[in-house]
Structure 1
Amino acid sequence: MMISVILSCGKSSNPTPINPVDPPVTVSTFSNPLMNGADPSVFQKDGVYYYLQTNGSSINLWTTTAMSKLASATPKTIFTPAAGGQNSRNVWAPEMFYLDGKWYIYYTAGNGTDISQRTWVLENSSADPTTGTWVDKGKIFSPDADFWAIDGTVFEFNGSRYFLWCGRPDLTNVNLTQNIYIAKMTNPYTLEGVATKLTEPEFSWEKNGFGVNEGPEVLVSPDNKPFLIYSASYCGTDDYALGMMSLKAGGNPLVKADWTKSAQPVFVKQPQNNAFGPGHNSFFKSPDGKENWIIYHANSATNQGCADKRNIRMQKFTFKADGSPDFGEPVATGLQITKPSGEK
Structure 2
Amino acid sequence: MKNCLILLLLFAIGCKSKEESSTPTPPPVTPVDTVGKFRNPILSSAPDPWVINKDGFYYVMHTTGNNLRIYKTRNISRLASATPVTVWTPPATGPNNRDIWAPELHHINGKWYIYYAADNNGVDATHRMFVLENASADPTTGTWIDRGQLNLPENKWAIDGTVVRLNGQLVYAWSGWENDLGGSQNIYICKLTNPYTAEGSRVRVSTPELTWEKQGFGVNEGPQFLVHGGKVFIVYSASFCGTDQYALGQLSADTTANLVAQTAWTKSPNPVFGPYASGTTYGVGHNSFFTAPGTAGAPEYWLVYHANPAPGQGCADFRSARMQPFGWKADGSPDFGSPVSLNEYIKRPSGE
TM-score, scaled to structure 1: 0.89
Distance in 2 of aligned mates of 1:324 and 1:129: 32
- In structure 1, the residue matched to 2:149 is 139
Percent of residue pairs bearing the same amino acid type: 52
Q: CA deviation at 1:26?
A: 8.5
Once the two structures are superposed, residues 141-180 of structure 1 have per-residue CA deviations (whole angstroms, 9 ceiling, x without a partner) of: 3232x1110001001111111111111123233x2x1001
1:19-168 equivalences in 2 (<5 Å): 27-35=35-43, 36-111=45-120, 112-144=122-154, 146-168=155-177
- The one-letter amino acid of 1:280's match is H
Is residue 2:249 matched to residue 1:243?
yes
Q: Is the 8 A contact 1:207 1:232 kept in 2?
A: yes
- The one-letter amino acid of 2:224's match is E
Distance in 1 of aligned mates of 2:41 and 2:264: 37
3-state SS of paired residue (2:125) = helix
- The one-letter amino acid of 1:286's match is A
Distance in 2 of aligned mates of 1:336 and 1:63: 23
Q: Is the 8 A contact 2:221 2:238 kept in 1?
A: yes
3-state SS of paired residue (2:79) = helix
Which of 177, 180, 191 aligns to 2:187? It is 180
3-state SS of paired residue (1:154) = strand
Q: CA deviation at 1:290?
A: 2.3
Q: CA deviation at 1:100?
A: 1.1
Is residue 2:203 matched to residue 1:193?
no
Is residue 2:322 matched to residue 1:316?
no
1:226-265 equivalences in 2 (<5 Å): 226-248=232-254, 250-265=256-271
- In structure 1, the residue matched to 2:222 is 215
Distance in 2 of aligned mates of 1:147 and 1:262: 27
- In structure 2, the residue matched to 1:6 is none
Q: Is the 8 A contact 2:243 2:283 kept in 1?
A: yes
- The one-letter amino acid of 1:244's match is Q
Structure 2 unpaired stretches of 5+: 1-32
Distance in 1 of aligned mates of 2:104 and 2:180: 26
- In structure 2, the residue matched to 1:285 is 291
Distance in 2 of aligned mates of 1:34 and 1:43: 15
Q: Is the 8 A contact 1:201 1:232 kept in 2?
A: yes
- In structure 1, the residue matched to 2:19 is none
- The one-letter amino acid of 1:32's match is N
Structure 1 unpaired stretches of 5+: 1-24
3-state SS of paired residue (1:131) = coil
- Equivalenced residues, count: 315
Aligned CA-pair RMSD: 1.4
3-state SS of paired residue (1:290) = strand
Q: Is the 8 A contact 1:142 1:193 kept in 2?
A: no
3-state SS of paired residue (1:71) = helix
Determine which structure has the larger helix proportion and give its number. Answer: 2
1:304-343 equivalences in 2 (<5 Å): 304-343=313-352
Once the two structures are superposed, residues 80-105 of structure 1 have per-residue CA deviations (whole angstroms, 9 ceiling, x without a partner) of: 01111210100010001111111100
- In structure 2, the residue matched to 1:5 is none
Q: CA deviation at 1:270?
A: 3.1
Distance in 2 of aligned mates of 1:27 and 1:79: 38
Q: Is the 8 A contact 2:301 2:326 kept in 1?
A: yes
Check 1:41–1:249 CA distance in 2 against 1; reply closer, same or farther (3 A cut).
closer
Distance in 2 of aligned mates of 1:43 and 1:210: 31
- Choose 249-258 or 212-221, whichever is displaced more: 249-258
3-state SS of paired residue (1:291) = strand
